[in-house]
Amino acid sequence: MHPIDLILRKRDGLELSTADINAFVQAVTALSLDPKAATLTEAQLGAFLMAVFQRGLSLRETADLTTAMRFSGEVFDTKPLNTFSVDKHSTGGVGDKTSLLIAPTLAAAGLENTPSISVPMISGRSLGHTGGTLDKLETIPGFDTQLTLPQMMEVLRDCHAVLVGQTPRLVPADRILYAMRDHTGTVESPFLICASIMSKKLAEDLNGLVLDVKVGSGAFMPTYEKSKFLAELMVATGERSGTRTAALLTTMDEPLGRFSGNWVEVWECVDILQNKPISPEHQRMSADLITLSNTLSGWMLYLAGKSATPEAGALLAAELIRSGGAYKSWLQIVAAHHGDTSVFANPALFHKPAAKRVLTASRNGYLSSMDCKEVGWAVQRLGAGRAVPGGPVSAHVGIESHAKLGDRLTAGQPIFTLFTEDPALLDEPYAMLQATVTLTDTPPTPQLLIREIVTAATLP
Amino acid sequence: MHPIDLILRKRDGLELSTADINAFVQAVTALSLDPKAATLTEAQLGAFLMAVFQRGLSLRETADLTTAMRFSGEVFDTKPLNTFSVDKHSTGGVGDKTSLLIAPTLAAAGLENTPSISVPMISGRSLGHTGGTLDKLETIPGFDTQLTLPQMMEVLRDCHAVLVGQTPRLVPADRILYAMRDHTGTVESPFLICASIMSKKLAEDLNGLVLDVKVGSGAFMPTYEKSKFLAELMVATGERSGTRTAALLTTMDEPLGRFSGNWVEVWECVDILQNKPISPEHQRMSADLITLSNTLSGWMLYLAGKSATPEAGALLAAELIRSGGAYKSWLQIVAAHHGDTSVFANPALFHKPAAKRVLTASRNGYLSSMDCKEVGWAVQRLGAGRAVPGGPVSAHVGIESHAKLGDRLTAGQPIFTLFTEDPALLDEPYAMLQATVTLTDTPPTPQLLIREIVTAATLP
């Protein structure tokens, strides 16, 4: 295959063969190793990505691209564990900390025999307006997210779950393609998004995968239809690779749970996992998070054969938290990652922001809407995200939600508390939140949290 | 403008502003000077070209791109000549040597006062299956096609026509964009073809321009509709720049004239310009060339105000050849380019191929079709074209046509004579010509040479 032939075929809307796609991904990987010796140039890669953006890929091409990317570097091998390996992936939201509840819940279920479970969870960092699981975990003193594959295997064998970052040698083709997409204006192609997400997830060598595809004002995808199309693509791609895959389309119109930030999100999960009585207000603020986490865990338990239905799986997940089993697994996982579990004794005391400010209701009325992406950006600007790529994030920053969409508020009642480590960073996020929150005389139309399920059986 | 914003706009089918396009072309030119300091990367250029290929450009964008490219380097300035500057451009054919007749014809017309004419003809080299005017001219001993702009001005002032190659500083943005299009599979975009051709022609600072847009099996554009679309784009772009522009859609289904090659094409033109009696067979073989050249010259003379109609212009062109005025100008132009005019005394004697072979009719029948592109490639393989970019071409190679489409031939009657400087190069072109020529029992449908005229008045 000459790169130009591949570009011309895709330019004219023709299908590429499996061999063509394999050769292309090999050329992409070679390009990152030695640009001068590569058969493909960056200009050709830019043209190819734009041709794919405009013409799309067939289901077969998308699956072939995903597979070729998956095997472009080293891959994880869960077979020696002799367990059902399962993971969850979210397309990214605000206050979305379900991984911190799901990993210990599934690990607790994995402690029981027949079938045992392992959750090889490779997570990401803060991206755009969304938070990153790794950034949240690293606020726990000592917590190490950078394990080698053999270390991952050891933690998985001992704890049934591991919470790590991408290794440099895992799916290298995605790193190059992602950087080039970002650089050439070709990020938002559902086919390229699917291949990027699924190549990394399938490199975990999964038997089952549950996808949380966000819709609403805080989602990356701009419309419900585009989110659904991406969900269908990812489910079809996973199933073609022999991984049982289900996708949940879930609402992201306001921050999920009580806190959005870094340590504060760990704190909220520890409160839930410790299963101690929490105030009715905190209970109510965390309710959507708990429902979503248990629903996703339920689907994972169902795929793993631990429950007869996803609904029964969700009840099992709730029971694993209520019994303290999930918290026990949490402590074990954190310790295996060299994290200091003593901070969980009183998470509220460990939270030490330098300054805070409360945004209150300017009038009586219903909390009817907010641009959730703008809320996410406000959290990032408080210090939760990076000012420059590779830069540091602040641990004790974020927002606490005191109200949910549809709540009836009176003037002066708190909506958000903002936390920051640098008082100079309060003004801009405060103004952003103030501007995006809308209070109205009539209540907004309520929105379901779980909107739709996509599985192999529902595919068009 | 950040390059990414420009890519995103075009990717999504939105229009780019004049300022955006100017900044883009400046960035392209900067990229060629110093890739490391450039604001645009090659990957972004590849993505942008593919976005343009897929989404197209509006008429305004095409004109803006053409203008920005035209002024990307040094430009010619014909104002000091105080003449009507006019040129002809052909999209490329086989045996297409009209420039060698048109330049001296118009120069002869320019010798007369009110209004005077200058023809600043910047030509190209052999490309693909087509020949190049510069390669033909350089078979005249001593002929120098590489003049500086001041030298061009001097020849133009003295002779009213100049026949030169592109200077490195003229339209540098086109050189980069053309190389990148070739490299990224984005050559065949009518918008980019228009900007490439018209930026170079308009850099000649023309008052009038006549375009010969080829259609048929020897044309670069694959369909009549695409050729017509390109013609309309170029006429609209020229007119927007204040250059009176007309395009003729002309048939290229067989080699134009009697000879196709390098020196043999000069020979054919010298025969015509010398206006001596030539054999009826040679007369008949050159008839289409003479008709097309005089028609194109006629349009140029009409645009220059030398005739009341294009048809009257064609009659004037024929008269300028018949009177010997065009030949006198030809000798003057060749001498000004340091060419040795003594070879015109007996052009047939100067023609010294090392070997020749005659392809004859295999049966009785009508010469009904040939793939004219294949005929062009056969001529290139005889040595008229380059084996490697920048390599040498052979002077005394090519083919002589002994029959035209529609002729009734008897078995054994000659169709083509092949000439080469290396006898080893005869077999492949001979086989190519043999395979592409079709003889049938019934005559083919005759095709008009001039199919359609596109002017400002006919634009949709």
Residue A321 lies in a domain: yes
Tens digits of pLDDT across chain B (460 residues): 688 999 999 999 999 999 999 999 999 998 877 777 788 999 999 999 999 999 999 999 999 999 999 999 999 999 999 999 999 999 999 999 999 999 999 999 988 766 799 999 999 988 889 999 999 999 999 999 999 999 999 999 999 999 999 888 899 999 999 999 999 999 999 999 999 999 999 999 999 999 999 999 999 999 999 999 999 999 999 999 999 999 999 999 999 999 999 999 999 999 999 998 889 999 999 999 999 999 999 999 999 999 999 999 999 999 999 999 999 999 999 999 999 999 999 999 999 999 999 999 999 999 999 999 999 999 999 999 988 878 899 999 999 999 999 999 999 999 999 999 999 999 999 999 999 999 999 999 999 999 999 999 999 8
Contact between B52 and B95 (Cβ < 8 Å): no
Does residue B313 contact residue B453 with C-beta atoms inside 8 Å? no
**pLDDT for position B113:** 65
Number of folded domains that form chain B: 3
**Could you tell me if B60 and B15 are in contact, meaning their C-beta atoms sit under 8 angstroms apart?**
yes
Tell me the three state secondary structure of residue B32.
helix
pLDDT in tens, A199-237: 999 999 999 999 999 999 999 999 999 999 999 999 999
Q: What residue has token string 């007749």?
A: B101
Same domain, B205 and B88: yes
- Mutation to test the A interface, candidates B177, B184, B188, B189, most A Cβ within 10 Å: B184
Query: Does the annotation mark A381 as catalytic?
Result: no
Query: CB of A341 within 8 Å of any CB in chain B?
Result: no
Which range of residues forms the domain containing residue A43? 3-56
Interface of A with B in 96-155 (CB under 8 A): none
- Closest by CA to A454, choosing from A204, A213, A106, is A213
Within a domain: residue A28? yes
Nearest-Cα distance to chain A for B188, in Å, is: 11
Residue A196 — φ and ψ, nearest 5°?
Answer: -65, -50
Residues of A in contact with B177 (CB under 8 A): none
Using a CB-CB distance cutoff of 8 angstroms, which residues of chain A are in contact with residue B54?
A: 11, 50-51, 54-55
**pLDDT grade for A276, boundaries at 50, 70 and 90:** confident
Chain B neighbours among A 181-200 (CB < 8 Å)? 183-186
For residue B309, is it within any domain? yes
Instruction: Nearest by CB to B47, from A11, A41, A50: name it.
Output: A50
Report in angstroms the alpha-carbon separations of B94 from A14, A261, B138, B422. Answer: 32, 70, 18, 21
Task: Assess whether A88 carries a catalytic annotation.
Answer: yes
Tell whether B33 is covered by a domain: yes
Rounded Cα–Cα distance for residues A301 and A98 (Å):
15
Q: Give the pLDDT of residue A35.
A: 75
When pLDDT is averaged across residues A391-402 and rounded to a whole number, the result is: 95
Q: Do A184 and B53 touch (CB under 8 A)?
A: no
Is there a contact between B184 and A8 if contact means CB atoms under 8 Å apart?
Answer: no
Q: Within an 8 Å CB–CB cutoff, is residue A53 touching chain B?
A: yes
List strands edge to edge, sheet with A117-123. A161-165, A117-123, A84-90, A208-215, A244-251, A450-454
- The question of whether A295 is a catalytic residue gets the answer no
Q: Domain with B394 in it: what CATH number? A: 3.90.1170.30
User: Please, which residues bridge with residue B170 across strands?
Assistant: B74
How many whole angstroms separate alpha carbon A275 and alpha carbon A290?
12
Question: Which positions ≥6 away from B168 have C-beta within 8 Å?
Answer: B175
A37: left (phi over 0), alpha (psi -120 to 50) or beta: alpha
Residue A1 above 80 pLDDT? no
> Residue A45 maps to which CATH number?
1.20.970
Assign A34 a pLDDT band (cuts: 50, 70, 90). confident
Helix axes B18-33, B42-55, angle to 10 degrees: 140
- In this prediction, residue B391 carries a pLDDT of 87
pLDDT > 70 in chain B, percent: 99
Asked if A41 and B183 come within 8 Å (Cβ–Cβ), the reply is: yes
Q: Over the stretch A115-138, which tens digit does the pLDDT of each residue have?
A: 799 999 999 988 889 999 999 999
Q: Which residues in B363-378 are b (16+ Cβ under 10 Å) and which e?
A: eebbbbbbbbbbbbbb
The model carries a pTM of 0.89
Task: State whether residue B2 sits within 8 Å of chain A by CB.
Answer: no
Residue contact B185–A4, C-beta within 8 A: yes
Please identify every residue of B annotated as catalytic: 87-90, 133, 181, 196, 200-201
The answer to whether residues A400 and A259 touch, using CB atoms and an 8 Å cutoff, is: yes
Task: Identify whether the C-beta of residue B73 lies closer than 8 Å to the C-beta of residue B170.
Answer: yes
Cβ-contact A296, A88 below 8 angstroms: yes
Same domain? For A300 and A395 the reply is no
Shortest Cα distance from B322 to chain A (angstroms)?
50
Are the beta carbons of B44 and A41 separated by less than 8 Å?
no
Q: What are the structure tokens assigned to B277, written together?
A: 């009696």
> What SS3 state is found at B406?
coil
Whether residue B247 is found in the same domain as residue B310 = yes
Together in a domain, A305 and A391: no
pLDDT at A53: 97
In the annotation, is A408 catalytic? Answer: no
Q: Are residues B180 and B40 in the same domain?
A: no
Specify the DSSP class assigned to residue A166. Answer: P
How many Cβ atoms are within 10 Å of A151's Cβ, its own excluded? 15
Nearest residue to B460 via CA among B242, B245, B229? B229
Nearest to A138 by CA among A385, A393, A348: A393
Q: Is A226 a catalytic site residue? A: no
pLDDT for B276: 87
A155 and A273 part of one domain: yes
Q: Which residues of B touch A53 (CB under 8 A)?
A: 11
- Using a CB-CB distance cutoff of 8 angstroms, which residues of chain B are in contact with residue A185? 4, 7-8, 11, 44, 47, 51
Strands of the sheet with B161-165, listed across from one edge: B161-165, B117-123, B84-90, B208-215, B244-251, B450-454
Burial class (CB in 10 A: 0-12, 13-18, 19+), A275: middle
Query: Are residue A108 and residue A141 in the same domain, yes or no?
Result: yes
Contacts of B180 in chain A (CB under 8 A): 43
One domain, residues A32 and A164: no
**DSSP codes, B159-171:** HSEEEEEPPTTBS
- What pLDDT sits at residue A317? 98
From chain B, the residues in CB contact with A47 under 8 A are: 46-47, 49-50, 184-186
Residue A113 has pLDDT above 70, yes or no: no
Task: Looking at the structure, tell me whether residues A120 and A265 fall in a common domain.
Answer: yes
Are both B247 and B205 inside the same structural domain?
Answer: yes
Top pLDDT among A253 and B168 is at: A253
Q: Which pair of structure tokens corresponds to residue A188?
A: 């938002």
CB contact under 8 Å between A49 and B54, yes or no, is: no
| A65 occurs within a structural domain | no
Which CATH number do you get for residue B95? 3.40.1030.10
- Distance, CA of B66 to CA of B198 (rounded, Å): 6
Check if the beta carbon of residue A204 is closer than 8 Å to that of residue A239: no
The pLDDT, as a whole number, for residue B1 is 67
Side chain identity at A370, as an amino acid letter? M
Is B46 in contact with A47 (Cβ distance < 8 A)? yes
B30 and B155 part of one domain? no
- A41 and B CB contact within 8 Å: yes
Q: Is B321 on the interface with A (CB under 8 A)?
A: no
Helices (H), A56-189: 59-70, 98-110, 133-137, 149-159, 172-184
For B212: left if phi > 0, alpha if psi spans -120 to 50, otherwise beta; the answer is: beta
The per-residue pLDDT for B411 is: 98
- Same domain for B129 and B187? yes
> ipTM beyond 0.90?
no
The mean pLDDT value for A336-343 works out to 98
Point out the residue among B41, B47, B185 whose CB comes nearest to the CB of A186.
B47
Predicted pLDDT of residue B324: 97
Q: Is the Cβ pair A46, B51 closer than 8 Å?
A: no
Q: Work out the average pLDDT over A437-453.
A: 97
Domain assignment of residue A63, yes or no: no
Q: What is the pLDDT of residues B369-379, one digit of tens each?
A: 999 999 999 99
Task: List the catalytic residue out of A66, A91, A196, A260.
Answer: A196
